[in-house]
Amino acid sequence: MRTAYKMRAYPTPQQEAVLNRTFGCVRLVWNKVLAWRQARYRKERVTTSYAESDRYLTELKCDPELAFLSEVSSVPLQQTLRHQHNAFVNFFSGRSRYPRYKSRQGRQSASYTRAAFKWRQGRLYLAKMMDAPLEVVWSWPKVDPASICPTTVTVSRDPCGRWYVSFAVEVEAPDEASTTGSAVGLDLGITHFAVTSDGVKIVGARRLARRERSLARYQRRMTRTQPGSSNHRKAKAKIARAHRKVGASRADFLHKTSSRLIRDHDLIVIEDLNVKGMVRNRRLAKAIFDSGWGTFRSMLEYKAARYGRHLIVIDRWYPSSKTCSVCGHLLTELSLGTRTWRCPSCRTLHDRDVNAAKNILAAGLAVTACGGDVRHAGVSRVRSPVKQEPQPARARIPVLLQGRE
């Protein structure tokens, strides 16, 4: 299994100069090759392979105006061609969007393979900087740094000036977590980040909303400075630090929440939310982005596969909020502002989110009852059973639990 260890790095001023020069060359090669790919396709209507882009890189190095490309390690330049080739493969496969040009603004990175770095006794030596090791702070107390054998090292710098090193390592897959016999359905929302079928409401911290006033003040200060001046760079770095704190706090919350759910439940059922379509609502877009639903689902997917849990994703059109979890009655309409409603058939008073989570769990249990294995490491998807006759969820769940045994 492939994993990565990311930690802070503290390069010397001389190492910073070499790394910044490497970042610039990596960015230049990416943009030059991308423009050449596009022009070649428009003119000749042919795609470009990695070998052809590698030969074009050799031509760029022979250009007297680009002779500085030979002053940095050639491995990061070749790695950016591999990344660009994989980006096009993912684009044509429908897994990502079209590759874009790189900017000197934002995060900068360079990747080194084994031919361009040495990792000895917890000390990192990079190509063109072999005279002194790059200082890194090992932040994984349960892992001995001298025991790992990294295959790739990625050095990066975020917009606020912090340096990081990421080690890609091949490790043995962890043992599957012990079974708990528990299943849970999740209904993601804005007022509460998630509501479980057990009635537990997980409150989201709204990280961006907390710092919104401070960010607005920092941005006003930056607009009063002269672009390119020292004060402008300082104000811009301050904004970047504020955004970094928001992102780090959100990632910490999502990791802890997803890990707790994976640890406590064998089966987790969620909805396939159309986040891209939902953010078109201007009133809710900022709150949806601040919640991080897409990142949360990705975390659940890879953690479920790693620890032998089963994640089921039901269809987004499944009427979980409008269906009574007791008798199965389906409402014709239910406005978004209605948080509680009483079933006209069985007269049960429902909390909108808890009722939806119970129905999501019932739909996921139907998958396991039809032959699925709760211990299976993977993600299953189930289509909406809207066209079927609704059945009482309370009478259906015990039968499904018997099918899991």
Distance CA 175, CA 58 (A): 46
Distance CA 113, CA 129 (A): 15
With contact defined as beta carbons under 8 Å apart, do 81 and 36 qualify? Answer: no
List CB contacts of 142: < 8 A, sequence separation 6 or more: none
User: Which of 112, 325, 364 is closest to 199 using CA atoms?
Assistant: 325
SS3 of residue 278 by DSSP: helix
Set 65, 170, 172, 187: catalytic member: 187
SS3 of residue 340 by DSSP: strand
With contact defined as beta carbons under 8 Å apart, do 400 and 367 qualify? Answer: no
Give the relative orientation of helices 74-92 and 13-44 as an angle to the nearest 10 degrees.
Answer: 40
Set 44, 176, 290, 353: catalytic member: 353
**Does 351 participate in catalysis according to the annotation?**
no
Set 16, 135, 271, 405: catalytic member: 271
327-331, Cβ contacts within 8 angstroms, sequence gap of 24 or more: 327/392, 327/394, 328/390, 328/391, 328/392, 328/393, 329/390, 330/390
User: Which of 282, 23, 276 is closest to 161 using CA atoms?
Assistant: 23
Distance CA 231, CA 234 (A): 5
With contact defined as beta carbons under 8 Å apart, do 181 and 194 qualify? Answer: no
With contact defined as beta carbons under 8 Å apart, do 304 and 405 qualify? Answer: no
**Does 290 participate in catalysis according to the annotation?**
no
**Does 315 participate in catalysis according to the annotation?**
no
Active-site residue set: 187, 271, 353
